[in-house]
Structure 1
Amino acid sequence: MPTLVLVRHGQSLWNLENRFTGWVDVPLTETGIAEARLAGERLRGRSFDVAYTSRLTRAQQTLSLLQETAGLQLPVIQDEALNERHYGDLQGLNKADTAARYGDEQVHIWRRSFATPPPNGESLKDTAARTLPFFERAILGDIRQGKDVLVVAHGNSNRAIVMRLEDVPEDEIPGVELATGVPLVYGLGEDGSLQGKTILE
């Protein structure tokens, strides 16, 4: 049974500063580096055939540290389809300051609703429309060949994949949170069907 492991990158500088990050390329914090290494410890002893990550440094850095810690040397495929949701005009803004300016309810809608994007940005629906065709074509393409796959990406690109794998309804996905640096291990049929899930906390 092929295995798919999803990992959200470790804490980034703007996660720490409570800022909307999106496609802005910010590095990991010391905490994020530790989370990436801990993810590697949790995955030590597992084997994979290929790894996927986004075009953003924080995901690539997490994957590199994870591999180093776990003793892995995988071929790595980077693709923009796995990038974080683009937060448009909110990128770089402090989340608390933005809530004070626009109201908690409006910012909550921009952050957590499935279909409402922030100004000039992407909703989760938009992110899924970008991420899932690549997931179906490339990542599940490997799964169908019986390969074990590691994906290190972002909160929203990974949530889109979780939504697809676990058949989460649109009205429930806003409540799904993915912790930084915590591997989600999925056992899949070669047709991509979900057979089991384990969270390595």
Structure 2
Amino acid sequence: MPKLVLVRHGQSIWNLQNRFTGWIDVPLTEKGKEEAYKAGELLKDIRFDVAYTSMLTRAQETLRIILETVGLLIPVIKDEALNERHYGALQGLNKDRAREKWGKEIVHLWRRSYDIPPPEGESLKDTAERTIPFLERAIMGDIKDGRDVLVVAHGNSLRSIVMYLEKLGPDEIIKVEIPTGTPIVYELDENENIISKEIRHLEE
């Protein structure tokens, strides 16, 4: 059965600084590069046929390190459908400063509700509306052809994919956290049903 593996990029500079990142292109920290290397170590048993990533450097660099660690040279497809949720007016702001500016409750609502976007930005629902069609059209096509697929993307674009695969509702997906650099390995059947799910944790 084909495998679909999801990995959130390693820690970025703005993750470290507690800032809303969204579509701003920021690099990995040294810890983020180490997380990517460890994710690669955890995936050496899978011979991926194809990889997908976003148009953002932190995801592409994580993927590059993983493939280098695994020792694979495979096709890589980049698409902004897999980009992080666009945080609009929040992008670049420290999360604590955003709470001071708009209030703790409203910022929490923007971050954790399913369908309420921040000013000029996307909700998780908006993110899913671009991620899921790409998943169905491209990624699941490879799965149906029996290929093992690696997707390295972002917290919210990956949450959209998890929502689709695990058939979760809006109230369930908003509680799902996806840690940086932690592979989620799904084994799927020909009808996209999950045969098994394994979260491979990094060792400290």
Counterpart for residue 85 of structure 1: 85
Secondary structure of 1:134's counterpart equals helix
Counterpart for residue 171 of structure 2: 171
**Distance between the aligned counterparts of 1:38 and 1:180, measured in 2?**
11
Counterpart for residue 95 of structure 2: 95
With normalisation by structure 2, the TM-score equals 0.97
**Distance between the aligned counterparts of 2:195 and 2:45, measured in 1?**
21
Secondary structure of 1:176's counterpart equals coil
- Residue 70 of structure 1 deviates from its aligned partner by 1.3
Percent of residue pairs bearing the same amino acid type: 65
**Number of residue pairs matched by the alignment:** 201
Counterpart for residue 75 of structure 1: 75
**Distance between the aligned counterparts of 1:30 and 1:73, measured in 2?**
24
Deviation per residue, 1:33-63 (Å, 9 max, x gap): 0000000000012111100000000000000
**Distance between the aligned counterparts of 1:191 and 1:143, measured in 2?**
10
Matched, 1:30 2:30: yes
One-letter identity of the residue aligned with 1:166: E
RMSD: 0.6
Q: Which segment is superposed worse, 96-105 or 11-20?
A: 96-105
Secondary structure of 2:186's counterpart equals strand
Deviation per residue, 1:97-153 (Å, 9 max, x gap): 111221111111111110000000000000000000000010000001111100000
Task: Specify every segment of 5 or more residues in structure 1 that has no aligned partner in the other structure, as ranges.
Answer: none
Counterpart for residue 106 of structure 2: 106
Task: Specify every segment of 5 or more residues in structure 2 that has no aligned partner in the other structure, as ranges.
Answer: none
One-letter identity of the residue aligned with 1:116: I
Counterpart for residue 140 of structure 1: 140
- Tell me which stretches of 4 or more aligned residues in structure 1 moved more than 3 Å: none
Counterpart for residue 66 of structure 1: 66
Secondary structure of 1:151's counterpart equals strand
One-letter identity of the residue aligned with 1:67: L
